[in-house]
Amino acid sequence: MTTTRRKFLTTSALGGAAALAAPAVHAQSTIRWRMQTYAGAALGEFVVKPAVDMFNAIAGDEMQIDLYYADQIVPTGELFQALQRGTIDCVQSDDDSMASPTEVTVFGGYFPLASRYSLDVPALFNNWGLNEIWGEAYAAVGVKHISAGSWDPCHFITSSPITSLADLQGKRVFTFPTAGRFLSQFGVVPVTVPWEDVEIALQTREIDGVAWCGATEAYTVGWADVTSHFLTNNISGAWIGHFFSNMDRWNELSPKLQNLVATCFEQSHYYR
């Protein structure tokens, strides 16, 4: 009995210690998200990489976001479907470019609405209810709307001057679908080419110009090198751009990580 009792106490003590120690030796695996942006690498370095780098540095071993640039995983026009399926965990885009099926997409990208100044956009979303409207629209299709901000204004960058509406007649222009539909009434012919082919299309005169961005991007991506005119009358003063995530992946995050994701993305709008 003594031997048996002694053996029982020894093995129980060892077993109990092992059981108590077990959680400490199993390290929690790092959460990884795949994120794709609408922007190519040259532009993405400015408009999204700083935010992702900041998040990764703060989150450390808890979570890391792997950033992919335009079309690296799926074409930009398939971003919404990939996000909804979970092929991509997170997306930076406007509603229009990623072919969102929501009703709010009618306002996607550039539109001549109440966005003459860049600060109109955060005011509309954060103070006048658009966050709630966008949130409900995307939640209904399994996507989390994380943040909206004012990105660049939309100007004509062309190979010939535009001094009146008559000069727009017949101009073949690379632009967003929403802007294309709006500009068609003035004789603009919207032309769709892959974003990375725009510079060549300008050189070969496949297109006469772009209505896509402001001056900074025009120089950053090389379009200013192959065009001669920049029309300072902007179509819209503030392109509304967003960050989205797959709803299931978002719900898997702790409140702390959700807040960190939202904070890093929100500040990136102002970094621009």
- The 10s digit of each residue's pLDDT in 220-231 is 889 999 999 999
Q: What angle do CA 211, 215, 220 make, to 5 degrees?
A: 100
Q: What are phi and psi of 162, to 5 degrees?
A: -120, 110
Q: For 2-43, write each residue's pLDDT tens digit.
A: 555 555 445 555 555 544 554 544 457 999 999 999 988 888
Per-residue model confidence (pLDDT) at position 25: 47
pTM over 0.95: no
Q: What are phi and psi of 42, to 5 degrees?
A: -60, -40
SS3 117: coil
Q: What are phi and psi of 98, to 5 degrees?
A: -95, 10
Tokens at 255, concatenated: 């409140």
Per-residue model confidence (pLDDT) at position 272: 74
Per-residue model confidence (pLDDT) at position 225: 95
- Alpha-helical segments (H) within the chain: 2-25, 41-47, 49-59, 79-85, 120-126, 130-139, 177-183, 198-203, 215-220, 247-252, 255-271
Hey, what domains does the chain have and what are their CATH numbers? 31-151+239-271 (3.40.190.170), 154-236 (3.40.190.10)
Quickly tell me which residue has 């965990």 as its tokens. 89
Reported as a pLDDT band with limits 50, 70 and 90, residue 130 is very high
DSSP characters for 18-50?
HHHHHHHHSPPPPEEEEEEESS-HHHHHHHTHH
Per-residue model confidence (pLDDT) at position 237: 67
CA–CA separation, 151 vs 121, rounded Å?
A: 9
Q: Single out the residue of 172, 147, 125 nearest to residue 260, CA to CA.
A: 147
CA–CA separation, 202 vs 210, rounded Å?
A: 9
